[in-house]
Amino acid sequence: MSMKKFVLGACAAALMSTALSGAALARDLLRVGTEPTFAPFEFLDTETKQFAGFDMDLIRAVADKAGYDVEILNMGFDALIPALMTRSIDVIAAGLSITEERAKRVDFTKPYYTAGLSMLVRKGDAQKYPDFKALENQRIAVQIGTTGADTAKDIKGAKVAAFNTTSEAFMDLATGNSAAVVHDRPVLAYFLKTQAKSAGTMQLQPEILDAQSYGFAVRKGNKELLEKLNKAYDELVASGEVQKIHDKWFAQ
């Protein structure tokens, strides 16, 4: 073999080795759908312009442990399940309550958080609307597609004002149009904690309804992805990483 052929062969082998190494390191992309007006679970950080929150940190950690890179996509809450079913996304990470009705359309991972519904009212109306029964025949602000919206519809005579985002629901309450906002309690509490101006005029009532668990959702029948996410989650629980993420967002 001539030196020229030897050199060319060595170069080709090196290039092939590099290509194979790169292929081995390449990771599948997990497209995650969310609706980022659900702080502290998911929201758009105004400084970093990145998706932030408990769900966002957790799904990134779970996906990384399972061997995936993550792309997070912003969409309306009521568009998430249709997007999953049409393969526009692979996972929903959006504070999605595990319900029998939703489980007919998607498969849920193991629960990662449990929350109940509460009501936020203006302080001047706190005695007038002490509990959910007092909201009968009143206008109630909710976010479209949430369990809070479902609960509000079941209140006798209630006039339900459904909005695309939680921010719009809060604004409807602040302007005096609605008697209350019905939503997941952690979301209402975080709103009061971070919105100093509104915190002085609103009050979170003590009653809690319908404690439900959140889970990540995958397409119905996608057993392989479901098992990978559950396994990764269990490993993060065992290592203490899930607790660290929880404490970052919920520790007092």
Q: List, for residues 164-209, the tens digit of each pLDDT value.
A: 999 999 999 999 999 999 999 999 999 988 885 776 799 999 999 9
Both 163 and 106 in one domain: the answer is no
Does a structural domain hold residue 15? no
The confidence band for 11, taking pLDDT boundaries of 50, 70 and 90, is: very low
Alpha-carbon span 66 to 227, nearest angstrom: 10
pLDDT at 140: 99
Both 172 and 220 in one domain: the answer is no
Higher pLDDT, 53 or 2: 53
With a cut of 50, say whether residue 233 has pLDDT above it.
Answer: yes
With a cut of 70, say whether residue 41 has pLDDT above it.
Answer: yes
Both 135 and 150 in one domain: the answer is yes
With a cut of 60, say whether residue 6 has pLDDT above it.
Answer: no
Both 59 and 123 in one domain: the answer is no
Both 204 and 226 in one domain: the answer is no
pLDDT at 196: 59
Residue 189's alpha-carbon distances to 64, 127, 184, 243, in angstroms, are 30, 19, 9, 20
The tens digit of pLDDT for each residue in 118-148 reads 999 999 999 999 999 999 999 999 999 999 9
Does a structural domain hold residue 2? no
| pLDDT over 90, % of the chain | 81
- What is the CATH number for 165? 3.40.190.10
Does a structural domain hold residue 152? yes
Does a structural domain hold residue 231? yes
Both 70 and 124 in one domain: the answer is no
Both 232 and 193 in one domain: the answer is no
Look at the chain and report how many structural domains it folds into. Answer: 2
CA dihedral (212, 103, 37, 248) in degrees, to 10, reads: 50
Does a structural domain hold residue 191? yes
Mean of the per-residue pLDDT values for the chain? 90
pLDDT at 18: 47
Does a structural domain hold residue 59? yes
Higher pLDDT, 52 or 17: 52
Does a structural domain hold residue 5? no
Does a structural domain hold residue 8? no
Region of poorest pLDDT, from 14-28, 114-128, 214-228: 14-28
pLDDT at 71: 98
Both 220 and 96 in one domain: the answer is yes
Both 91 and 126 in one domain: the answer is no
Structure tokens at 114: 């449990």
Both 107 and 120 in one domain: the answer is no
- Residue range of the domain that includes 55: 29-112+215-251
pLDDT at 193: 85
The tens digit of pLDDT for each residue in 64-84 reads 999 999 999 999 999 999 999
Both 149 and 132 in one domain: the answer is yes
Both 154 and 236 in one domain: the answer is no
pLDDT at 25: 60
